[in-house]
Structure 1
């Protein structure tokens, strides 16, 4: 991943200041550690990855508005920690810390603007594999419209994610056939699911994201228990991968 990242969790070893003797420095460190800590240990961990290249600005704005559906779906039944990953520009690919509420995630997303560049899906998949070494990752969500990389390399990483039980849920905007074939293969190999949407189907995307969140916190039993139409659709897709 690129070095251009927002702060990560304290246990990663990053952004830890050298010890100082003055009280003010200690208090500042404690405040920072509390702000960065993830609430709800043992909760579902979901990585939300988005293509932030220039063509994606309208969909980025849409994602900012509907991401709350993931947290709302979990509600009191569990807890969800979400990490934002995005790529844009010339080789820039960055990851946020994990956050446990919708406002924190929205604040992270609204600080980012889209910039022209090539896709970096391989970096996203590699990051998910690396993150799984720090703690269980229950699902990876990717929203994009293009694929400009070696599909065989992506397939290899997707297979590794499948072996680690990290399904990739891919939401494709538009009908680019190269992206369609690649996204379907990534979903198949990771034992995830692929869906198509457009900018007029924000409600459908929000509902499907809510299903992914429920799955990330409780697996298939949680989807079966909630039993909404979007949950049944997700179960159908996931069952076909097993």
Structure 2
């Protein structure tokens, strides 16, 4: 008889666990997901501390937006690509960002976009934010992957640090074919950067309509590039 009671209790616990798991999964799927990717290769070392400080500000620009969850990814070194879990707390993301250090290595933008497409196929992502200063891979291959993102309704929001014209041209092309947007990661204008990410986050939550309800220059910068939907 004791054995029967134990089995019943165990069965109830399992049922409760499954119910809780389904509830959590439902909530997670309802959240709007935004992928945040940074280039942590050696070329960014000279301005890394300042860039990190601005990135913290960018992450905190998403605070107060309910239902938005972010994942931080970065690449560096020899094919090193790391990612966090999906998180809703900007403080946790900032602490994880603080632990990242630059290391020599090639850019991994192709791997980044393939990873994003895989994540998007598993559960839709509302957008990918990328901050970088270099491209060391065939541009046509990167643009092709960006086009695949566009076909799957995964817009790319590309922030360029520096003034390399080749990088600028490729980033702008990637933004166009993915139905995303391009902007400079201007270390001298932290307020504008914060406004831009806040605008991207608003777009991730409410789409084109949410941007039209804003009155700032950052929203206008995105509206001029994004397709109406």
Q: Same fold (TM over 0.5)?
A: yes
Of 73, 76, 88, which aligns to 2:76?
Answer: 88
SS of aligned partner of 2:57:
helix
Cα offset for 1:40? 5.2
Q: Aligned residue for 1:128?
A: 116
Aligned residues: 206
Q: Aligned residue for 2:196?
A: 208
Of 69, 88, 91, which aligns to 1:100?
Answer: 88
TM-score, with normalisation over the residues of structure 1?
0.78
Higher helix share: 2
Of 92, 117, 120, which aligns to 2:105?
Answer: 117
Of 201, 204, 210, which aligns to 1:222?
Answer: 210
Note the residue ranges of structure 1 that are not aligned, 5 or more in a row. 1-29
Q: Aligned residue for 1:193?
A: 181
User: 1:164-222: per-residue Cα shift (whole Å, max 9, x none)?
Assistant: 11110001011111211111111111011111132111111111010000000110111
Tell me, yes or no, if the aligned pair for 1:89 and 1:118 is still in contact at 8 Å: yes
Tell me, yes or no, if the aligned pair for 1:208 and 1:231 is still in contact at 8 Å: yes
Q: Aligned residue for 2:154?
A: 166
Note the residue ranges of structure 2 that are not aligned, 5 or more in a row. 1-16
SS of aligned partner of 2:62:
helix
Matches within 5 A, 1:56-71: 56=44, 57-58=48-49, 59-71=51-63
Cα offset for 1:229? 2.5
Tell me, yes or no, if the aligned pair for 1:99 and 1:105 is still in contact at 8 Å: yes
SS of aligned partner of 1:191:
coil
Cα offset for 1:127? 0.7
Cα offset for 1:236? 1.3
Tell me, yes or no, if the aligned pair for 1:71 and 1:210 is still in contact at 8 Å: no
Q: What is the distance in 2 between the residues matched to 1:221 and 1:70?
A: 18
Q: Which is further off, 110-119 or 156-165?
A: 110-119
Q: Which is further off, 54-63 or 181-190?
A: 54-63
SS of aligned partner of 2:63:
helix
Q: Aligned residue for 2:5?
A: none
Cα offset for 1:85? 1.0
Q: What is the distance in 2 between the residues matched to 1:61 and 1:226?
A: 25
SS of aligned partner of 2:86:
strand
SS of aligned partner of 1:125:
helix
TM-align CA RMSD: 2.4
Structure 1 residues 201 and 211, CA gap change in structure 2 (3 angstroms): same
Choose 1 or 2 for highest CA Rg.
Answer: 2
